Amino acid sequence: VNDLHNTCEDVHIPHMPPLLRGHAELHLRNGVMRASRLSAMHEPDAEKAFFVADLSYVYKQHERWKRCLPAIEPFYAVKCNPDPYVLRVLAALGTGFDCASNNEISRVLDLGIVDPSRIIFANPCKALSFIRNAAKAGVEMMTFDNVDELHKIARSHPRAKLVVRILTDDSKSLCALGTKFGAPLVTVPGLLSTARRLNLSVIGISFHVGSGCFDTSAFADAVAHARTAFDMGKEAGYDFTLLDVGGGFEDATFEASARILSEAIEHYFPNRESIRIIAEPGRFYVSNAFHLAGNIIARRAPLDEGKREAPVPSDEDSKTPRVMYYINDGVYGSFNCILFDHQIVHPHVLSMGGSFHVPSTEPLRPCSVWGPTCDSIDCVCPLTQLPTSLSVGDWLVFENMGAYTVCAASQFNGFEVSNVIYTSGGGAGSLEVRRILSDFSTASGGSDFEIGGGAG
Ligand code: PLP
């Protein structure tokens, strides 16, 4: 953590700008960023949902990466979460970056501390103008998986260092990418002979086992495919020097995936002195670093409306939500991960009846959680276990909200994307959110947490 604090200083995190809309101004105090000045809770949108990002988690994941895969250089997949402070910490730690667009390349280069050689343009199907722009920015490494891309690159970036993205089995991953990208092995010789004819430099092979890969054996299978592609390169007169093992690394199975991947590399590439091995991890670095606090802005108890307390449900209706809670972020916002990334999210109670001392004895009952828009698809949890006595103004927290969330959030219906509050001094998950939330309530006198009051 001391190293992280130094890193934060190196990359000027102490000079953070005030959070959007004057919600909170952050500064580094004793190495820990805290919400120090908070606007009154009666401002418009005062109860706005927000993320707490623990940058020490990103740092710890990098340490874990180096421990398990010391010979593989991580190129963080910016698409997963392009948060500027995550990028700064990773840049300072020396990772490379996988970018998919002009904008992502600019975000990384604008940090001012990343050389373009630390970027791979890992989108196999790029607009011509994007390729031209990459050339101008000095980004040379880029992937391709089709002949047309080779012609575009020959025209606009003839000095590019090309990497063939091959197709591998991603059928067991959360998000299969092979339906859209990846050259089947049988097409690789043809692609390479076109590349040769166009006088292009092809330096290696990349693959992606699919995002959210719990099938650790997929990595070994993919390395075997890469070996075949390397041999095809030799046949075509290329001497490949790069193997890019892509992303897909899951927190829960990371050590197992790393072991299987390392063994496969050892087996298929025993003489690899001249081969640089890189990877494109995304969610591994950020999933658990971000937690989202959502405010209960409305509630309905359609079955029990008018009764003082919801009756204990019988077995038959244990699947019927007793209370519908409406929070101020949903599937059109940060919870787009439910639709696009096939995630199932679980809420924890942060405050109850305005108090942060949630009684542990409160019985949990089937409830549902909804987003704020007027669309009925905007459901965060169709069925979850929560107390039925949460009030309007209470807070729920969702952990593991760092990957493919805020980056794809829209402003549908006029709901703004949730802000981020940063900390470099990791309390564990919801504890850290609770601490920051109680800063909010203290600074605002706390009374506004009692909107609607009591058990509703
Ligand atoms: N690289 C490429 C080309 C991708 O498309 C993706 C995700 O879609 C990633 C890396 C990151 O994958 P993950 O977040 O599963 O590690």
Domains recognised in the chain with CATH numbers:
41-52+289-424+432-450 (2.40.37.10), 55-286 (3.20.20.10)
Residue 367 annotated to the active site:
no
The residue whose CA is least distant from atom 8 of ligand 1 is 211
Ligand 1: distance of its center to the CA of 96 in Å? 14
Question: What distance in angstroms lies between residue 66's CA and the mean position of ligand 1's atoms?
Answer: 19
Residue whose CB lies within 8 A of the most ligand 1 atoms, among 65, 174, 208, for a mutation test = 208
Residue-wise burial string across 7-38, b where 16 or more C-beta atoms lie within 10 A, e elsewhere:
bbeebebeebeebeeebbebebeebbbbbeeb
Q: pLDDT 10s per residue in the chain (456 long)?
A: 344 445 445 544 433 333 322 233 333 333 333 333 333 445 667 789 999 999 999 999 999 999 999 999 999 999 999 999 999 999 999 999 999 999 999 999 999 999 999 999 999 999 999 999 999 999 999 999 999 999 999 999 999 999 999 999 888 788 889 989 999 999 999 999 999 999 999 999 999 999 888 888 999 999 999 999 999 999 999 999 999 999 999 999 999 999 999 999 999 999 999 999 999 999 999 999 999 999 999 999 977 665 655 555 565 567 899 999 999 999 999 999 999 999 999 999 988 888 877 788 889 999 999 999 999 999 999 999 999 999 999 999 999 999 999 999 999 999 999 999 988 765 555 565 666 666 655 544 332 222 222 221
- The per-residue pLDDT for 439 is 60
Atom 9 of ligand 1 has which residue's CA nearest to it?
247
* The pLDDT value given to residue 98: 98
Is the distance from CB of 33 to CB of 424 less than 8 angstroms?
A: yes
Ligand 1: residues whose CB is within 6 Å?
A: 77, 80, 98, 122, 177, 208, 211-212, 246-249, 280-284
Say which of 374, 379, 381, 407 is annotated catalytic. 374
Q: What is the pLDDT of residue 356?
A: 79
Whole-number Å distance, alpha carbon 141 to ligand 1 midpoint, is 16
What is the predicted pLDDT for the residue at 164?
98
Look up the ipTM and state it.
0.99
Q: Which atom of ligand 1 is nearest to the CA of 123?
A: 3
Report CA Rg, the chain. Answer: 24
Amino acid at 348: H
Ligand 1 atom with least separation from CA of 248 = 15
Say which residues have a Cβ less than 8 Å from residue 351's Cβ, sequence separation at least 6: 358, 393, 394, 395, 437, 449
Tell me, in angstroms, the distance from the centre of ligand 1 to residue 208's CA: 7
- Residue 396: strand pairing partners: 294, 349
Which pTM value belongs to this model?
Answer: 0.86
